[in-house]
Amino acid sequence: MKKNMGVTDKRIRVFIAVLLFALYYFKVIEGTLGMIGLGLALVFVLTSFISFCPLYAPFGITTCKRK
């Protein structure tokens, strides 16, 4: 796997993940929508840690700077 996520992209994803978790924790979103939000937050955190987004690959999208 080649990295296809830049630093800004990773930071935005982690921010959104924390926001979704906080919304669920404070019961702003609940039920099915809350579970979907938690799942999305988990995916965002995992993709940020490995610096690879599987949805970017088929389209050739990359947000990381190349030398």
Per the domain annotation, does 66 fall within a domain? no
Total domains in the chain come to 1
Helix 31-50 × helix 7-25 angle, to 10°: 150
pLDDT, tens digit, 9 for 90 and up, residues 7-64: 999 999 999 999 999 999 999 999 999 999 999 999 999 999 999 999 998 999 999 8
Whole-prediction pTM: 0.89
Per the domain annotation, does 19 fall within a domain? yes
Per the domain annotation, does 21 fall within a domain? yes
13: tokens are 């994803």
Q: Which domain holds residue 39?
A: 7-59
Per the domain annotation, does 64 fall within a domain? no
Give the pLDDT score at 65: 83
- Concatenating the DSSP letter of every residue in 5-27 gives --HHHHHHHHHHHHHHHHHHHTT
Per the domain annotation, does 53 fall within a domain? yes
Per the domain annotation, does 35 fall within a domain? yes
pLDDT, tens digit, 9 for 90 and up, residues 52-63: 999 998 999 999
Give the pLDDT score at 67: 65
